[in-house]
Structure 1
Amino acid sequence: MLLPIIGLILGAVLGAALARRRGGGRADMAQWAAVWAIILALAGVVITVAVLRG
């Protein structure tokens, strides 16, 4: 399923937007994007596994 990939992209965009709104520089936006991408990608993996096992 594509849920982890969608979570990865959505997380990166969301993280960069949050960092920019808080006045962060490029490094802050990159770090926030990476962290949020990982979080939402892992959430997508967990949801995918739960759906496929259920």
Structure 2
Amino acid sequence: MIVIVLSIIGVIVGWRTATKRKGDLMDKLQYGAAYFLAFAVAGVIITVIVDRFI
């Protein structure tokens, strides 16, 4: 669940970052995908840490 939520947040953050930098559609998609992957990896790490301690 944490991975899904963070992945969606990653896409939103990436899209907004590209928009602030005046990027076109392809820039927004690329930033969205990159942030999606970064936030998904962070979500997996957080999930493993939480699972280990609980």
Instruction: Return the TM-score normalized by structure 2.
Output: 0.94
Q: What is the CA–CA distance in structure 2 between the aligned matches of 1:16 and 1:28, rounded to whole Å?
A: 8
Is residue 2:2 matched to residue 1:3? yes
Shift of 1:17: 0.4
Runs of 4+ in 1 over 6 A off after TM superposition: none
Structure 2 unpaired stretches of 5+ = none
Is residue 2:47 matched to residue 1:48? yes
Q: What is the CA–CA distance in structure 2 between the aligned matches of 1:6 and 1:51, rounded to whole Å?
A: 15
Instruction: Return the TM-score normalized by structure 1.
Output: 0.94
Q: What is the CA–CA distance in structure 2 between the aligned matches of 1:41 and 1:3, rounded to whole Å?
A: 9
Q: 1:12 maps to which residue?
A: 11
- Identity, % of aligned pairs? 36
Shift of 1:26: 0.2
Aligned residues: 53
Structure 1 unpaired stretches of 5+ = none
Structure 1 vs Structure 2 CA RMSD = 0.5
